[in-house]
Amino acid sequence: MHKICIIGLGLLGGSIGKECLEKKLSKKVIGFGRNHDSLKKALQLQLVHEISDDFNNIHDADLVIIATPVKQIELVLKQIKPFLSKSTLITDVGSTKTNIINSVKNILGAESKNFIGSHPIAGSEKNGPEAAQNNLFNKKNIIITPHKLNTESSIKKIEDFWKQLNGNTIIMSPENHDEIFSTVSHLPHALAISFMSMINKKENREELLNFAASGFRDFTRIAASSPEMWRDIFIDNKEACLKDLKSYIEQLKEFENALEDETTLFDFIHNGSDLRKNWDE
Amino acid sequence: MHKICIIGLGLLGGSIGKECLEKKLSKKVIGFGRNHDSLKKALQLQLVHEISDDFNNIHDADLVIIATPVKQIELVLKQIKPFLSKSTLITDVGSTKTNIINSVKNILGAESKNFIGSHPIAGSEKNGPEAAQNNLFNKKNIIITPHKLNTESSIKKIEDFWKQLNGNTIIMSPENHDEIFSTVSHLPHALAISFMSMINKKENREELLNFAASGFRDFTRIAASSPEMWRDIFIDNKEACLKDLKSYIEQLKEFENALEDETTLFDFIHNGSDLRKNWDE
């Protein structure tokens, strides 16, 4: 490729840039972002060839990757729309897909044919350009969620891009994506965050935290993720998240009943435990 | 010491034995247990000097460590009671304390002065003698929960034993112990188990598990723990666990409201996230 533009140089955008540079996937990789300090840091860390705050620079890009938090994607699309050429493909790395695709259609109209949504299942509780790393996408699932206006060849180009980062691409509808990730990702985040909020309210929270050990550490790791990013994800995937939360509360009430009753408790625990033991990442 | 008897050679009992042998803390370390195959395995793995099914062997022990699941402690106490000498100290490694101390008082009467409860905050989702490891207790908190009949010198002996395994001993009442560990340990286990049970009920559970990633992995790790052990812990600490579950369900409802409302969602997430980021194990 001649030019790749990455908007947002946090963990995901930064790691994409880093790998594009190392693998020489594009003659030029330009980074854009709201935060000038982060941009400068990204340049220092050699995550991109150049940084810019002028969207004129994207007019001849082969690929624009929007790697901002999901709620900013709409604003970014409005900002870059005047500078998009007909041959520029656009993708994102957002953890929700249906709302994003709807925004894209509203904002870009017929030109939304050049936008193909992506969600790399790769991340960490860390963020910012300092968190960028090599091989972040290696063997990781990359969900690609085409919509009706996308052409086969555009979809293939986006797939090929992720395959060059050693990702394992999977095609799925935005709706199916959002339901699945509500359950396996957004719900656990909501649960870990709520657990930490509960601890936060306790008068003896310092004592509690002193006695927390490795089970607590792993269970709550995802609660340390970026509050801004997760607020946006929850709001963007609100319907599926609320449905899963309700279903989970029912599950907790079933646990409560099993604990009161005692006779069914073993089976309840065993069912969950067995499924986890047999799961391989 | 002359003789240490360990009843139950799983992860904790086995690891204690292994370290007693390597550090030569006792001339003889004898392992007891229900499961003959596990006992033989423990002997092969050199976790103990000898194995036995005859409690006559404990009459001259300096220390008896009951390392069975918590619900079996009562039965074990009844079985060993006729063979206990006045100079034999007894401890356990149970994750709950109040109920265990009450059972001890009922079964041993005045002789319960020789029982000092312990809870090493060390473990893993693995179990069985194969899971036994060196340094399992190194720098880990070991909660010791004395009761009124215990003498200062007996408590000190139990403390010294754990210190020889490099544990960091802490004295606490059984009731305080149970409340703290309900919140920081038993509740997260209940939540992770309930989450896996919810997945287990879904028709598309195979698809869900295919897309589960590192956040899911860490969040659910503790769900893979022994169902027998955890059933017993939950039942033994039922009151505190039910209280914490109710409080957590309230917390989830608060999250639901914040998500519906959107304006308070950031603060809710931020409070939890911040506390976790500033926690150091």
**pLDDT tens digit sequence for B191-207:** 999 999 999 999 999 99
pLDDT digits (tens, 9 = 90+) for A18-32: 999 999 999 999 999
Each domain of chain B, given as residue ranges in start order, spans 3-172, 177-277
Asked if pLDDT for residue B71 goes beyond 80, the answer is: yes
Give the homologous superfamily in CATH for domain A3-172. Answer: NAD(P)-binding Rossmann-like Domain (3.40.50.720)
For range B168-186, the mean pLDDT: 97
pTM for the model stands at 0.86
Nearest to A208 among B184, B189, B213 (CB): B184
Kindly indicate the confidence band of residue A126, based on its pLDDT and cuts at 50, 70 and 90.
confident
pLDDT score at A155: 98
| Contact call for A184 and B223, based on CB within 8 A | no
CA Rg, chain B, in Å? Answer: 21
Q: Which CA distances in Å does B16 have to B65, B66, B136?
A: 9, 11, 8
Query: Cβ of B266 under 8 Å from any chain A Cβ?
Result: yes
Kindly indicate the confidence band of residue B105, based on its pLDDT and cuts at 50, 70 and 90.
very high
pLDDT digits (tens, 9 = 90+) for A208-251: 999 999 999 999 999 999 899 899 999 999 999 999 999 999 99
Kindly indicate the confidence band of residue A125, based on its pLDDT and cuts at 50, 70 and 90.
low
Q: Which of A219, A225, A237, A238 to mutate to test the interface with B (most CBs of B within 10 A)?
A: A219
Minimal C-alpha gap between A50 and chain B (Å): 32
pLDDT digits (tens, 9 = 90+) for B222-239: 999 989 989 999 999 999
Around Cβ A131, how many Cβ atoms within 10 Å? 16
Find where tokens 């042998």 sit: B21
Nearest to A235 among B196, B222, B262 (CB): B262
Helix-strand-coil split of chain B, %, nearest 5? 60, 10, 30
β-pair type (A117-120, A141-145) = antiparallel
Which two structure tokens, joined as six digits, stand for B128? 């069985």
Nearest to B224 among A197, A242, A276 (CB): A276
Kindly indicate the confidence band of residue A127, based on its pLDDT and cuts at 50, 70 and 90.
confident
Return the DSSP state at B55.
G
Beta-bridge partner residues of A90: A64, A115
For range A169-174, the mean pLDDT: 97
CA-CA-CA-CA torsion sign (A92, A97, A103, A106): positive
Q: Let me know: does A195 contact B248? Beta carbons within 8 Å.
A: yes
- Exposure on the CB side of residue A233, measured as CA atoms within 13 A: 26
Give the homologous superfamily in CATH for domain B177-277. Answer: 6-phosphogluconate dehydrogenase C-terminal like domain (1.10.3660.10)
- Residues in contact with B36: Cβ distance below 8 Å, sequence separation at least 6, in sequence order: B53
Asked if pLDDT for residue B56 goes beyond 80, the answer is: yes
For A223, the closest chain B residue by CA position comes to B273
For range B132-154, the mean pLDDT: 96
Minimal C-alpha gap between B130 and chain A (Å): 16
| Nearest 10 degrees: Cα torsion A10, A13, A14, A16 | 160
Find where tokens 């022990």 sit: B61
Alpha-carbon gap, residue A239 to B187, rounded angstroms: 27
What values do phi and psi take at B53, rounded to 5? Answer: -120, 15
Q: Which of B171, B184, B246 to mutate to test the interface with A (most CBs of A within 10 A)?
A: B184
Q: Let me know: does B66 contact B93? Beta carbons within 8 Å.
A: yes
- Exposure on the CB side of residue B41, measured as CA atoms within 13 A: 17
Query: Cβ of B196 under 8 Å from any chain A Cβ?
Result: yes
Minimal C-alpha gap between A78 and chain B (Å): 23
Kindly indicate the confidence band of residue B177, based on its pLDDT and cuts at 50, 70 and 90.
very high
Own/partner pairs, B184-187, CB within 8 angstroms, 24+ separation: B184/A199, B184/A208, B184/A209, B184/A211, B184/A212, B184/A213, B184/A216, B185/A212, B185/A213, B185/A215, B185/A216, B185/B95, B186/B95, B186/B233, B186/B234, B186/B237, B186/B240, B186/B241, B186/B244, B187/A195, B187/B241, B187/B244, B187/B245, B187/B248
Q: Let me know: does A269 contact B227? Beta carbons within 8 Å.
A: yes
Asked if pLDDT for residue B125 goes beyond 70, the answer is: no
| Contact call for B266 and A231, based on CB within 8 A | yes
The type of residue at A22 is E
Q: Let me know: does A118 contact A144? Beta carbons within 8 Å.
A: yes
Query: Cβ of A137 under 8 Å from any chain B Cβ?
Result: no
Query: Cβ of A256 under 8 Å from any chain B Cβ?
Result: yes
- Residues in contact with B200: Cβ distance below 8 Å, sequence separation at least 6, in sequence order: A271, A272, A275
Which uninterrupted H or E stretch holds B170? strand B168-171
Average pLDDT score over chain B: 95
pLDDT digits (tens, 9 = 90+) for A50-109: 999 999 999 999 999 999 988 899 999 999 999 999 999 999 999 999 999 999 999 999
Alpha-carbon gap, residue A137 to B153, rounded angstroms: 58
